[in-house]
Amino acid sequence: MIRTGTATRIDWQTHKTWNEKMLSQPRYHKKSLRKLKKLTELVRSELQLREIDQSAFDTEGNPLDIEGIIYAIVHIPSNKLYSGQSINSSYHRFKQHWWDRFNADGRSSSLHKRMEKQKVHNFMVWPLEKIDESLYMVNGKKDLKLFRRAASHRERFWIIKLRSMFPRGFNLYLPLSKTAKTRRKWRPKRWINQKGPDLEDHCTKCVTSDSDGTIQIHNHSGNDYHVRLSLRKWLFMASTHPTDNLQKEIQRTSDSHRAKCLRWLYENVPNRIANDASSLIERCIRELQKSERGNLQKKKVSKFGSFIKVVHSNELITFANLRTVLKDPEVTKIYNSSEIQICDKQTMPLGRKLFNFTATSKGVKLDMPFPAAKNCPCRASNLLFPCDELVDGHVATTDPTFIKDPYIQELFSYGSKFRHNLQYDEIEKSLKVGVRTYVDTVLANMRGGASAEFIAKIREWEHVVIAKSMQNLKDYAARHPIVFKPPFQGSMALKELKQIFTIDPVDRAAHNMALICKRWYLFTLSHELSTKAYALYTARTREQILHDHRKWNTAHGLEDEHVDVLPYAYGSGKFHKTPLKLRFLAGISDDGSNNQHEPETVSQIYDRPVHEARSSTTAASKIVSEELQKVMDILQAKDKEHFERTGIRRCWFIRKIDEVFLDIKCKREYLTSETTNFRF
């Protein structure tokens, strides 16, 4: 809170950032917050099962900015709750409550009275669930009346679930509850023997589930009579008619009637009795509500297993033309494969086999002496032609023509990201593994098993696809035999080169590979590690550092993500600088083998798991990255306000380069003024 004279102005951005940080905590010390988090996650997962999308809480940046929400306000000192609904964001509604705390409001007066006596940081906003937009969006616009009807039921659910009614909580009113009648009950008149309308038997539950799981909806007169009739008809059609007929029948009704039916299903059909028919109806209504004016547009949905994974290397396997073969009429006549996607799994890049900077960096020691250039092996080696690209008298070059061995020189000219082409027989094996795995997946996922006729057809399709693809490759190979180069082979010359030089990527041009004298490289890295900036770690053992990291991770609830692997420091040559310097970076490697045993065969590459580099600081780094992103968001919001007020943008937060050029196109004067860029 900021004091200006006698008035007190609240720093809402600071409170919002604190509130967001509280929501993102993995653990809470207060039992009430732990229970609230567990209940919220449970209910959201149940809603997701009903295809009521709650993914916005995971995909959008700040959950406090999600609109169309059921929220809770937590008074942290007393653990009391207030549940409410808002068509805007939950934090926007919280600020409205705060501004109205001195106004008389019967429904929220208990909360407002508490706000009169408390500071704003004693209150926390907790988003509970997002209301399905298909219930209140009409032609892309929000309808407040429809939102109230949809949200009131969920607000009632949360008030009961959280027990937030007064005096336990701050809610004074339970939505959808009818007030008791003050007039006396109707009594029959003496001169007629007739029951009044209020004494007739009323149905208290219009939905039942049979022993076989069939949902029965009553069709008696009363509330939601037309809704129940429509749902009875649609449930019958969902069980006996094709899906297309059901969609057409639902499409005949209006947007408002469909919204009523969907809301009625949410309110009266719980998850425990929901079946495939009710889920199908909900899905059809939701698709129609999201389409413009209820005109359902069919979207291409990739089916499970509808992709073929093949081991790929550079351009060669593309000449088998597998994608064209799958759309060949002769092939689709056997089995419709026109919608199958191709997933290319790449072989290892050349740099993974040539680089040795990891093994070199792990051999560094503190206070290594400066190597004399006169007798250094980098100058006397017979592996290189005389080289004039030196730093402190030691060889440091990116020019592969200094290498005498023609094979190694050719490898360096390809670059670190080059992937060797597979040989002819390896390409055939790659196609067979990919296509056969696809066929096996299709057969395994067929309900009730596949018939003998279908198995014969799809096996024939498999044979034709492989034969046609290999014929395409054979025709191309006859015209271009030079592309079939042998795979990567180690050599004695390469081993000797790695003993004398460090091979590492070039700074700002990682595709290029550099040869740097290993002795000079180790001395420069040792000099950097001997400075005061690294003294906290160089003076301790590996076990002591890991112990502290494990202790920190455990204290912050990250013990499951801890691994006993430390990052290491390495240098990348800054060849755009004169004289040459190293950019020092942090890398992760669990051992010093430098990945000597990479998968080479097609089967090993095909089954290779996704690599995820992790160390003892990875979990903490993610948290720091998220917090720094919040700082950037705050700075960007401030700059946006300044830009809207003055028309001048003081800085860019670049996520896409198009954002910069868009501003330059709008403000041509930027091109004439002097521009300065800074790196930090």
Asked if 422 and 311 touch (Cβ cutoff 8 Å), the reply is yes
Residue predicted with more confidence, 302 or 317: 317
Average pLDDT, the chain: 81
Count of structural domains within the chain = 4
136-to-144, 152, 259, 514 alpha-carbon distances in Å:
7, 12, 7, 61
> Is 380 within a domain?
yes
Residue 628 has pLDDT above 50, yes or no: yes
> Is 680 within a domain?
no
Give the tens place of pLDDT for each residue, 413-472.
Answer: 888 887 766 666 777 788 888 888 888 888 887 766 778 888 888 899 989 988 998 888
> Is 337 within a domain?
yes
H or E element at residue 641 = helix 618-646
In this structure, are 444 and 397 located in the same domain? yes
Encoded tokens for 278: 């009710």
> Is 202 within a domain?
no
What is residue 650's predicted lDDT score, i.e. its pLDDT?
80
In this structure, are 583 and 605 located in the same domain? yes
Lowest mean pLDDT of 43-47, 157-161, 301-305, 618-622, name the range: 301-305
What is residue 351's predicted lDDT score, i.e. its pLDDT?
84
In this structure, are 465 and 443 located in the same domain? yes
What is residue 520's predicted lDDT score, i.e. its pLDDT?
94
Give the tens place of pLDDT for each residue, 35-54.
Answer: 999 999 888 888 887 778 88
Would you place residue 200 in the very low, low, confident or very high pLDDT band (cuts 50, 70, 90)?
very low
Highest mean pLDDT among 85-94, 210-219, 340-349, 549-558: 85-94
Would you place residue 134 in the very low, low, confident or very high pLDDT band (cuts 50, 70, 90)?
confident
What is residue 294's predicted lDDT score, i.e. its pLDDT?
45
**Domain boundary residue, one of 128, 162, 196:** 162
What is residue 335's predicted lDDT score, i.e. its pLDDT?
86
- Give burial (CB, 10 Å; 0-12/13-18/19+) of 194: exposed
Residue 86 has pLDDT above 90, yes or no: yes
3-state SS assignment for residue 245: helix
What is residue 299's predicted lDDT score, i.e. its pLDDT?
43
What is residue 600's predicted lDDT score, i.e. its pLDDT?
58
In this structure, are 339 and 391 located in the same domain? yes
Q: What is the rounded distance in angstroms from the CA atom of residue 477 to the CA atom of residue 321? A: 13
What average pLDDT does the segment 369-376 reach? 90
What backbone torsions phi and psi does residue 466 show, to the nearest 5 degrees?
-65, -40
Highest mean pLDDT among 20-29, 81-90, 321-330, 347-356: 81-90
What average pLDDT does the segment 81-105 reach? 89
Cα angle 328, 331, 332; round to 5:
85
Would you place residue 199 in the very low, low, confident or very high pLDDT band (cuts 50, 70, 90)?
very low
Residue 298 has pLDDT above 50, yes or no: no
What average pLDDT does the segment 268-289 reach? 83
Cα angle 289, 292, 294; round to 5:
50
Secondary structure string (H, E, C) spanning 562-628: CCCCCCEEEEEEECCCCCCEEEEEEECCCCCCCCCCCCCCHHHHHCCCCCCCCCCCHHHHHHHHHHH
In this structure, are 511 and 583 located in the same domain? yes
Angle between helices 276-290 and 243-251 in degrees, nearest 10? 50
In this structure, are 630 and 612 located in the same domain? no
Residue 265 has pLDDT above 60, yes or no: yes
What average pLDDT does the segment 171-200 reach? 56
What is residue 314's predicted lDDT score, i.e. its pLDDT?
56
What is residue 492's predicted lDDT score, i.e. its pLDDT?
85
Q: What is the rounded distance in angstroms from the CA atom of residue 334 to the CA atom of residue 330? A: 7
List the one residue out of 118, 80, 90, 117 whose CA is nearest residue 23: 90
3-state SS assignment for residue 501: strand
Q: Which residues span the domain enclosing 357? A: 306-530+563-616
In this structure, are 37 and 14 located in the same domain? yes
In this structure, are 275 and 401 located in the same domain? no
* Distant-in-sequence, close-in-space partners of 624: CB < 8 Å, separation ≥ 6: none
CATH code at 12?
Answer: 3.40.1440.10
> Is 300 within a domain?
no
**Domain boundary residue, one of 127, 146, 162:** 162
Residue 66 has pLDDT above 50, yes or no: yes
Q: What is the rounded distance in angstroms from the CA atom of residue 170 to the CA atom of residue 167? A: 7
In this structure, are 349 and 280 located in the same domain? no
Asked if 348 and 599 touch (Cβ cutoff 8 Å), the reply is yes
What is residue 203's predicted lDDT score, i.e. its pLDDT?
60
What average pLDDT does the segment 599-613 reach? 68
> Is 75 within a domain?
yes
**Domain boundary residue, one of 588, 616, 644:** 616
In this structure, are 385 and 366 located in the same domain? yes
In this structure, are 582 and 645 located in the same domain? no
Encoded tokens for 131: 């209301």
Distance of CA 132 to the CA centre of its chain: 21
293: left (phi over 0), alpha (psi -120 to 50) or beta: left
> Is 415 within a domain?
yes
In this structure, are 216 and 119 located in the same domain? no
Would you place residue 593 in the very low, low, confident or very high pLDDT band (cuts 50, 70, 90)?
very low
